[in-house]
Amino acid sequence: MNVGNNDIPGELSEHDQWLIWRWGTTRDGKPTKQPVNPHTGELASSTNPATWGSYEVAVAAYDMFGYPGVGFVFTSGDPYVGVDLDGCRDPGTGEIEEWARRIIGALDSYSEVSPSGSGVHIIGKGTLPPGGRKRGSFECYDSGRFFTVTGEHLDGTPHEIKERGEVLRRLHRRVFGKPSRNLTNI
């Protein structure tokens, strides 16, 4: 994890929407990630700004207390959208499945390897239509959730967070528009 390095987009660090996280209970065979207040070490809430801090505070808590990582909270007051592609990357080789490569290429914004090494997080600017947020290996959020941030930039993707509103809306329509849509057909 490259927390505290220059690979995390600087504009994210300007927002006091940071926390740390710890491993939680297991759900669907995977351990969950629980948000933690970087000031107190108690559980945080992705909807309560009083439980978040600055990037610097989160990195200091991460360094001092040995948490697995830091996270950024998406809110309706910021322009960011996070797209989480699970199980699409071989942690050993770095090979990314074709369906995920298409999404990464279409969004063409800051992308990084997830903490497990087997997924990819993409952060863009825009808003999401109402409705679906998770289907299979695909998740997308623009408020009320946090994303782990590793700083492990995905080679071949921009280092900047780019405006992708229209692409995000089209992608959302493709993934959630039909109940039988399979991600491999994106």
- Write out the catalytic residue numbers: 84, 86, 121, 139
d(CA 107, CA 67): 30
**Ranges of H-type helices in the chain:** 10-13, 55-65, 98-107, 165-176
What is the C-alpha to C-alpha distance for residues 72 and 48, in angstroms, rounded to an integer? Answer: 13
Instruction: Give the whole-angstrom CA distance, residue 179 versus residue 135.
Output: 9
Radius of gyration of the chain (CA): 16
CB 165 within 8 A of CB 126: yes
Helix or strand (DSSP H, E) at 91? none
Dig out the tokens for 54 from the structure: 């600055």
